[in-house]
């Protein structure tokens, strides 16, 4: 092993070793464990969120593989329709081209090229993180097999009437010129205005004032609506009003749903351009007038004056016109929510178009039941509520998109718009007996990306073929994903899984948080706070990092701000921390599903931990290389501390397993960290040096044994370093297993707990800690050896002192320990007392008596406060009567403890006054 731990040098070769030895593919074993990777979008590169998710999955996968299960991690990528097409269109735009210049086939060819590039980057990044996915089974949502499955599902659902074509109001993205689903729309709160517009009433002198936030949709109005109980307007119901800027007369209707307190209590109804109005329009049989072209400009249904103007540009013009006509009343400030397209960032317009829909209600029911009946469990459980809430109120899903990249809808139309659904044109002609002279045209639209994603857990396993993999690995064991796609993806997979395989797609859904930057902000390209996980692994200079962050900025004006912020946060760029440190960090941050603020300071600590493990291993190998390791531990032959470490190690295995099955990765990481650093390194390794000096050869066996188990426990989290250290373990002949990732996970030994061991070890630690503290308090130089005079009448204590004599001497830099039953006078000494034991330390140096006294007085106060708290409790009659006896007893013990502490501090103080 190298003297220095440098992750960069070892990680590449280790991954290759695993690949060469075919470690990632599933072995045919009895019990199965499988996870499908949430397929990353082929829109570019992986971000921190992916790295986090992949780490969690890899931990579960490696752990279960070591448990001896037949494990499949199914990887793949998603074509991500709109998102990917946008990326490629943006690239075209840089060359001054649009998709229309190169046509449908040309664009799709371009996107496939992009997909190759991006897909490969994603795979190599995923590998770099250490993911042990079965790459031989890598899938893409637009692979032939998966595409066939998509068609089959569409056709089946169409034939069952679940998928239908309808003319409905949908969310229309005028920039992308496609329909999008409700989920792809985000509502942004904005300060806007409420405009009051006056309408003349037909055959009347009266004026009706309507309040609206969207005056520009006026051309599509087909009614005015008031509340039937509104006394102000009762007389106007069923009369007609003149629609400004047009010649049309529209009806005044009434409906209970109108809020009398909103605006004037009088609202305009635009059934073809507003979701609420759409419902009212249906209910009251109103006319639906579409006023928009697909690109968001006004069509022929508005007057010539406004035709061709973009709806978002038209408001001012219309208001001016209304004002000139004297029809514009007051304008109030008003907070509104504006629907924005998630991908395009454009304002979304409701538009009446022909689209394909999926009926959801019947599909949702079994998906709800599956979670209610605990066939699927959410971890953490509170996400169930969100899941139920959405499914309980589910609306039909608009599945067609007017873009080019994706699964083309397997439907054909003849010239009379009759619909034929099937796998291909030939099949349809044959089935419906349509001869060649009737022209059939395939629907131009493609399916929503999430349609194919919803099938991912079974299409990747070969469905609709009943493959061995499908039988073996479906349902998968757990889904690891973020809460942001519970509706988009998770719920739909559950519905489709139950529908087509009659079984839920996974038994557990582990929901993790989002990775944010160190200030808790969402990492986003436009803010310029993105960190590439690979840059943390391999390191990056400040210049390259800055360059990455400011290239292709959406808002170039932020450039200087981003440059400055990056320089402030990473003055020297990012060091190469290695994949293991990053993984351990993610593991330690993987608590109960809350968001993660990612701070490089944290990862540095875990890199140091890896370094610690590295050096501890080096120590073990250096001290044992001449030793004949025996695989089994002869427990009875061990020293007390050796027994202690073996018991602790066993506890660690138990704890680890518990945390892993309850998805508490943070606790798992913490228990490993503290055992290895604070128990194994700080105590056991130090003590082993003493033992080895004393010719206790067997302690080497314990060193190696413990390290072996530590490596196994650590491996799922930090696979590279552990594999490398294991390599040495194997070449030294300490194990026959050549590859750690294939080794068997340690089983619990269930060694009997022995109280005497605990007592002796805690006494040893207390003894050492106290003297260390005293040394430090008295400012005794670490190199100076001291003598200890110990006085105790207790046999056990005397035995303890002689048993642990060399450990104490070594760890405390003690020359000689004098043991005696009775105390005697020694000049110039400090007293330290433990239970049933008094220790004198002759002071050879002068000490700063004043500071020391102050310190002792302070701790005295602290102790007295604590004691008085306990005493107050014990003097409380109610406490004695009502509290359980063990609590009372423990308080008595505490009382005793504090009294003793106080006495000992008092002793020390007296010593100092002499």
Nearer to RNA, 522 or 564 (CB): 522
The structure tokens listed for 663 are 């998805």
Window 886-905: residues binding RNA (CB under 7 A): 887, 890, 894, 897
Smallest distance from RNA to CB 683, Å: 8
What span, in angstroms and rounded, lies between the C-alpha atoms of 742 and 729?
Answer: 14
105 binds RNA (CB under 7 A): no
Nearer to RNA, 136 or 186 (CB): 186
SS3 state at 467: coil
Residue 567 or 873: the one with the smaller Cβ distance to RNA is: 873
Single residue of 466, 781, 824, 850 touching RNA by CB under 7 A: 781
**Chosen residue from 612, 648, 853, 900 binding RNA by CB under 7 A:** 612
- Which residue from 526, 779, 845, 868 is in contact with RNA, where contact means CB under 7 A? 779
The site for RNA, by CB under 7 A, has a size of: 77
- Between residue 427 and residue 486, which ones bind RNA under the rule CB under 7 A? 484
* Residues of this chain, 835-854, that bind RNA according to CB under 7 A: none
Angle, CA of 725, 676 and 59, to the nearest 5°: 65
Residue window 305-344: x/- pattern of binding to RNA, with contact defined by CB under 7 A = --------------------------------x-------
The yes or no reply on residue 571 touching RNA (CB under 7 A) is no
Report the DSSP beta bridge partners of residue 596. Answer: 515
Give the nearer residue to RNA in terms of CB position, either 560 or 845.
845
Beta-sheet strands, E only, within 360-436: 377-379, 397-398, 400-401, 411-413, 419-421
186 binds RNA (CB under 7 A): yes
Q: How far is the CB of 22 from RNA (least distance, A)?
A: 31
Closest separation in Å from C-beta 591 to RNA: 4
Q: Per CB under 7 A, which of residues 270..309 are in contact with RNA? A: none
Shorter beta-carbon distance to RNA: residue 751 or 874: 874
Angle, CA 32 vertex, CA 31 and CA 33 arms, to 5°: 135
Lookup: tokens for 463: 């469905």
Cβ 737 to RNA, closest distance in Å? 24
883 part of the interface to RNA, by CB under 7 A: yes
Q: Per rule CB under 7 A, is residue 520 in the interface with RNA?
A: yes
512 binds RNA (CB under 7 A): no
- Kindly tell me which of 129 and 812 has the beta carbon lying closer to RNA: 812
B/e letters for 164-196, b = 16+ CB within 10 Å, e = fewer, are: ebeebbbbbbbebebbbbebbeeeeeeeebbbb
Residue span binding RNA (CB under 7 A) among the ranges 647-655, 700-708, 752-760, 884-892: 884-892
Residues 6+ apart with CB under 8 A from 438: 414, 415
Which residues within the stretch 155-174 sit at the binding site for RNA (CB under 7 A)?
Answer: none
Question: Which residues ranging from 805 to 834 are in contact with RNA (CB under 7 A)?
Answer: none
User: What's the rounded Cα separation, in Å, for the pair 287 and 271?
Assistant: 8
Min dist. Cβ of residue 233 to RNA (A): 24
**φ, ψ (nearest 5 deg) of residue 818:** -95, 130
The minimum distance between CB 117 and RNA, in angstroms, equals 30
Shortest gap between Cβ of 495 and RNA (angstroms)? Answer: 17
Decide whether 214 or 602 has the Cβ nearer to RNA. 602
Identify the residue among 782, 822, 824, 914 touching RNA (CB under 7 A).
782
Question: 672 to 731, contacts with RNA by CB under 7 A?
Answer: 673-674, 677-678, 681-682, 685-686, 689
Integer Cα distance of 11 and 18 in angstroms: 11
Rounded (10°) CA dihedral 754, 755, 757, 760: -170
Helix (H) or strand (E) holding 332: strand 328-341
Does 615 participate in binding RNA (rule CB under 7 A)? Answer: yes
Report 351-390 residues binding RNA (CB under 7 A). Answer: 382, 385-386, 389-390
The crossing angle, in degrees rounded to 10, of helices 755-777 and 795-803 is 70
- List the structure tokens of 503: 């079984």
Site for RNA in 643-672 (CB under 7 A): 666-667, 670
Which of 399, 771 has the CB closer to RNA?
A: 771
91 binds RNA (CB under 7 A): no
- 453, 78 Cβ separation under 8 angstroms: yes
Dist CA 852 CA 388 (whole Å):
64
Structure tokens at 460: 């990747």
Measured from the CB atom, the residue of 182 and 655 that comes closer to RNA is 182
| Count of residues making up the chain | 914
Distances (CA, A) of 465 to 36, 401, 457, 461: 18, 28, 14, 9
- DSSP, res 526: T
Q: Does 802 bind RNA (CB under 7 A)?
A: no
Q: Does 182 bind RNA (CB under 7 A)?
A: yes
- Neighbouring-strand partners of residue 252: 224
Q: Cβ of residue 487: shortest distance to RNA, in angstroms? A: 7
Comparing CB distances to RNA, the nearer of 520 and 842 is 520
Q: Which is nearer to RNA, 631 or 697 (CB)?
A: 697
4 vs 7, 9, 427, 539, 616, CA distance in Å? 9, 11, 67, 17, 12
User: Which residues in the 577-606 window bind RNA by CB under 7 A?
Assistant: 589, 591-592, 594-597, 599, 601-602, 604-605
Q: If you write DSSP's letter for every residue of 684-745 in order, what string do you get?
A: IIHHHHHHHHTT-THHHHHHHHHHHHHHHHHTTTSHHHHHHHHHHHHHTTS-S-S-GGGSPP
| Burial of 40: CB neighbours in 10 Å, binned 0-12, 13-18, 19+ | buried
Stretch that binds RNA, among 266-274, 405-413, 840-848, 874-882 (CB under 7 A): 874-882
């Amino acid at each position: 092993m190298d003297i220095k731990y440098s992750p960069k040098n070892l990680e590449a070769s280790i991954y290759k070793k695993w690949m060469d030895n075919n470690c990632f593919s599933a072995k045919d074993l009895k019990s199965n464990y499988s996870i499908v990777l949430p397929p990353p979008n082929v829109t570019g590169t992986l971000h921190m969120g992916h790295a986090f998710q992949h780490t969690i999955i890899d931990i579960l996968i490696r752990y279960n593989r070591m448990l001896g299960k037949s494990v499949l991690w199914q990887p793949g990528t998603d074509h991500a329709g709109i998102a990917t097409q946008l990326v490629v269109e943006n690239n075209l735009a840089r060359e001054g081209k649009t998709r229309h210049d190169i046509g449908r086939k040309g664009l799709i060819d371009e996107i496939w090229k992009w997909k190759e590039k991006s897909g490969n980057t994603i795979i190599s990044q995923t590998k770099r993180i250490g993911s042990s996915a079965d790459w031989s089974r890598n899938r893409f949502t637009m692979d032939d097999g998966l595409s066939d499955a998509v068609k089959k599902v569409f056709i089946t659902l169409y034939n069952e009437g679940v998928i239908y074509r309808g003319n409905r109001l949908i969310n229309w993205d005028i920039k992308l010129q496609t329909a999008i689903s409700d989920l792809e729309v985000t509502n942004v709160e904005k300060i806007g205005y409420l405009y009051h517009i006056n309408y003349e009433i037909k055959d009347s002198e009266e004026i009706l004032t309507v309040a609206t936030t969207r005056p520009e949709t006026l051309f599509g109005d087909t009614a005015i609506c008031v509340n039937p109980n509104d006394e102000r307007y009762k007389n106007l119901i069923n009369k007609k009003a003149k629609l400004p800027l047009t010649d049309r007369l529209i009806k005044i209707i009434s409906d209970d749903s109108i809020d009398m307190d909103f605006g004037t209590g009088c609202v305009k109804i635009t059934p073809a351009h507003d979701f609420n109005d759409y419902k009212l329009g249906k209910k009251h049989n109103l006319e639906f007038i579409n006023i928009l072209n697909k690109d968001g400009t006004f069509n022929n249904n508005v007057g010539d004056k406004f035709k061709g103007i973009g709806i978002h540009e038209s408001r001012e013009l219309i208001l001016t016109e209304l004002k000139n006509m004297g029809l514009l009343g007051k304008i109030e400030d008003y907070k509104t929510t504006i629907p924005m397209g998630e991908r395009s960032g454009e304002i979304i317009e409701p538009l009446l178009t022909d689209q394909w829909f999926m009926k959801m209600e019947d599909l949702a029911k079994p998906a709800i039941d599956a979670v209610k009946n605990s066939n699927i469990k959410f971890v953490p459980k509170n996400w169930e509520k969100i899941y139920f809430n959405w499914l309980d109120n589910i609306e039909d899903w608009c599945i067609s998109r007017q873009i080019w990249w994706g699964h083309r809808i397997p439907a054909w139309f003849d010239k009379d718009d009759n619909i034929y659904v099937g796998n291909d044109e030939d099949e349809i002609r044959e089935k419906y007996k349509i001869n060649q002279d009737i022209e059939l045209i395939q629907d131009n639209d493609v399916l929503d990306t999430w349609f194919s994603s919803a099938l991912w857990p079974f299409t990747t396993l070969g469905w609709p073929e009943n493959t061995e993999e499908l039988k073996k690995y479906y349902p998968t064991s757990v889904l690891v994903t973020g809460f942001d796609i519970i509706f988009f993806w998770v719920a739909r997979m559950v519905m489709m899984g139950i529908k087509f395989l009659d079984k839920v797609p996974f038994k557990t859904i582990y929901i993790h948080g989002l990775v944010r930057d160190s200030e808790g902000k969402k990492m986003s390209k436009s803010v310029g706070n993105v960190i590439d996980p690979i840059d943390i692994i391999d390191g990056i200079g400040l210049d390259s990092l800055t360059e990455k962050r400011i290239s292709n900025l959406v808002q170039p004006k932020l450039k200087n701000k981003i440059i400055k912020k990056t320089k402030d946060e990473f003055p020297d760029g990012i060091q190469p921390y290695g994949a293991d440190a990053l993984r351990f960090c993610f593991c330690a941050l993987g608590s109960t599903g809350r968001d993660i603020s990612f701070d490089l300071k944290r990862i540095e600590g875990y890199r140091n931990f890896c370094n610690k493990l590295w050096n501890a291993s080096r120590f073990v190998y250096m001290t044992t290389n001449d030793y004949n390791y025996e695989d089994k531990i002869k427990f009875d032959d061990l020293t007390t501390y050796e027994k202690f470490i073996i018991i602790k190690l066993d506890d660690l295995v138990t704890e680890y397993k518990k945390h892993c099955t309850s998805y508490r990765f943070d606790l798992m990481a913490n228990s490993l960290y503290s055992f290895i650093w604070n128990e194994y390194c700080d105590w056991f390794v130090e003590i082993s040096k003493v033992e080895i000096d004393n010719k206790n050869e067997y302690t080497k066996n314990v060193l190696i044994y413990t390290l072996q188990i530590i490596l196994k426990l650590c491996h799922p989290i930090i696979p590279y370093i552990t594999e490398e250290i294991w390599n040495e373990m194997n070449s030294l002949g300490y194990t026959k297993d050549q590859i750690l990732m294939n080794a068997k996970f340690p089983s619990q030994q269930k060694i009997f707990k022995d109280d005497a061991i605990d007592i002796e070890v805690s006494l040893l630690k207390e003894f050492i800690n106290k003297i260390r503290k005293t040394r430090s308090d008295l400012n005794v130089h670490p190199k100076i050896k001291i003598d200890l005079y110990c006085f105790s009448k207790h046999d056990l204590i005397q035995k303890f002192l002689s048993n642990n004599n060399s450990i104490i001497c070594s760890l405390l830099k003690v020359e000689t320990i004098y043991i005696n039953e009775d105390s005697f006078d020694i000049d110039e000494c400090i007293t330290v007392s433990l239970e049933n034991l008094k220790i004198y330390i002759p002071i050879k140096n002068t000490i700063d008596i004043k500071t020391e006294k102050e310190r002792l007085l302070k701790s005295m106060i602290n102790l007295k406060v604590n004691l008085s708290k306990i005493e107050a409790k014990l003097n409380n009659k109610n406490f004695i009567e009502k509290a359980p006896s063990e609590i009372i007893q423990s308080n008595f013990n505490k009382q005793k403890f504090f009294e003793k502490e106080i006495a000992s501090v008092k002793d020390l103080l007296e010593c100092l006054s002499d």
